[in-house]
Structure 1
Amino acid sequence: MKRWNAVLLVLCGCAFFVGGCAQTQEAMKTDTGKGVAIGAATGALAGAIIGHQSGHKGAGAAIGAAAGAAVGGAIGYKMDQQKKELEQIPNTTVEQKEDRLVVTMSNAILFDVNSTALKPASQSTLVQMADVMVRYPDSDIIVAGHTDSTGSEKYNQDLSERRATAVRNYLITKGVGAGRITAIGFGETMPVASNDTASGREQNRRVEVEIKPRPEAAS
């Protein structure tokens, strides 16, 4: 009898999990839905491990998926709201890539040629960005500098690092916790367009700010 109960529990758990997957695939059409789906997948994995250890594999996955979806939904909702607010800031583009937001700013807005000093006009943009970050504190932030291929590889790497650090430091002065922000330079290694044209090089000269919510962002 216990064996049949265990089988039924596993079957019910599998059915619940499959149904949840179908729902999260539909939910993926929205940013909040992406949070639900990511949370469900992560929760299912954790639940499956726990279930395997306890002998209730299907139930563990199902319970983990449900709990993960709840957490993911809360995080997804906050990401939705944060994305909408960031999109209101001039001179930026905002994308959601899986479990993080990526805000891109052109170097033409931020810096003069070969300079690492922030332009006065760019500071308004960064002040607004910092304000959003301060109001959504449960996230880790990476400021990534990128250049075109003009000049030596070493020079471009150094320039990208110093520009990323300049943006990081300015955000810190506006109240964003230093422990949340990492600055990194990629030089010319990650182009988004061809360096053979002026417009392509302009696109490659950029700073990207990645914002990734922590699990506690659900609370």
Structure 2
Amino acid sequence: MKKISIIALALMMTAGTLFTSCEAVKNTNNTQRGAGIGAVGGAVIGGILGNNLGKGGKGALGAVLGGVVGGVAGGVIGNKMDKQARQIDQVLPGADVKRVGEGIQLVLNENAVRFDTSKSTLTAGAKANLDKLVAVFQEYPDTDITIFGYTDSTGKADYNLKLSGERAASVRSYLVAKGIASSRFKVTGMGIADPIASNETVEGRSQNRRVEFAITANAKMQEDAKKEAGN
């Protein structure tokens, strides 16, 4: 699971730099340290990144970092997210799975979720790939899922914003039709915002036409984690 391991290493290196000057960490017990490190960038690391980047940031990454619980309870959540991320990576190896903080950022480009040109209709291939996620989402019912739709910069910005929202809504509708509770979902159209590649090339535009998921703990998972942690 190379992508997730790389993200975890980067987060742990970031946290390590900050922890070296933090006397409080020296006074934590093994369980507390294990919660922060063993959760692959879970509670403690997520708290640091959340504070640095701010809550309510744009897109899936901002949504994930905005849901940090922190402490040992955050580590419990992080461990559960580790397992879910591994399963997503196994069933859909073409996806970009990133374990960040106490959640998961899942990026599906055109190779995974493709739409007909200028339409919000899912192709047969896109449906087949979303089907692979259904079982994972059903196994972890105590998560909230925000879906962000993106386009490249071709065409008018207002049209792309509308289209991206419709595409994100199509993904939600399909997953709901497959049995995932509609209450778990939010959708947001981002249009041409936050490109992850250059819009000057065909390949770059293809990467920018994507759907992202922010998978975070819902209220029940957070409360259960606090109980498990003894809070």
Which residue of 2 is the match for residue 100 of structure 1? 103
Contact 1:24 1:33 in 2 (8 A): no
> RMSD of aligned C-alpha atoms?
2.9
1:140-162 deviations in Å (ceiling 9; x for gaps): 11000000000001110011000
Match of 1:87 in 2: 89
4+ residue segments displaced more than 6 Å: 21-27
Q: Give the TM-score of the pair, scaled to structure 1.
A: 0.72
More helix by share: 1
Partner of 1:58: none
Residues 161 and 74 (structure 1), Cα distance of their counterparts in 2 relative to 1, 3 Å cut? same
Show structure 2 runs of 5+ residues with no match. 1-21, 49-68
Q: Could you tell me which residue of structure 2 aligns to residue 37 of structure 1? A: 44
Aligned with residue 195 of structure 1, among 195, 199, 209? 199
Equivalent of 1:137 in 137, 141, 147 = 141
Give the greater-gyration-radius structure (CA). Answer: 1
SS at match of 2:87: helix
Alignment correspondent of 1:216:
223
- On the 8 A contact 1:82/1:132 being kept in 2, the answer is yes
Asked if the contact 2:98/2:106 (under 8 Å) is kept, the reply is yes
| 2:76 corresponds to which of 74, 77, 94 | 74
Question: Percent same amino acid at aligned positions?
Answer: 35
CA distance in 2, matches of 1:217, 1:151: 47
Gap change, CA 1:68 and 1:208, over 3 Å in 2: closer
Distance of 2:194 and 2:217 partners within structure 1: 24
For the residue of structure 2 that corresponds to 1:186, the secondary structure is strand
Task: Give the distance between the partners of 1:21 and 1:188, measured in 2 at CA.
Answer: 46
Q: CA deviation at 1:98?
A: 2.1
Secondary structure, aligned partner of 2:147: strand
The answer on whether the counterparts of 1:36 and 1:72 sit within 8 Å (CA) in structure 2 is yes
Structure 1 residue 167 corresponds to structure 2 residue 171: yes
Letter in 2 for 1:168: R
CA shift for structure 1 position 38: 5.2
CA distance in structure 2 between the aligned counterparts of 1:69 and 1:196, rounded to whole angstroms: 44
Normalising to structure 2: TM-score of the pair? Answer: 0.68
Secondary structure of 1:151's counterpart equals coil
Query: Greater CA deviation, 136-145 or 15-24?
Result: 15-24
Give the distance between the partners of 2:79 and 2:117, measured in 1 at CA.
39
- Partners of 2:23 and 2:30 in 1: CA distance: 11
Q: Secondary structure in 1 aligned to 2:141?
A: coil
**What is the DSSP-based 3-state SS (H/G/I as helix, E as strand, rest coil) of the residue aligned with 2:191?**
coil
**Separation of aligned partners in 2, 1:78 and 1:189:** 31
> How far apart, in 2, do the equivalents of 1:110 and 1:199 lie?
14
In structure 1, how many angstroms separate the alpha carbons of the residues matched to 2:170 and 2:121?
A: 7
* Residue 139 of structure 1, CA deviation: 1.2
Q: Verify the 8 A CA contact 1:143 1:207 in the aligned structure 2.
A: yes
Per-residue deviation, 1:202: 0.9
Contact 1:39 1:73 in 2 (8 A): no
The whole-number CA distance in structure 2 between the counterparts of 1:104 and 1:217 is: 28
Q: Does 1:146 align with 2:141?
A: no
Distance change in 2, residues 1:23/1:162 (3 Å): same
The 1-side partners of 2:126 and 2:95 are apart by: 11
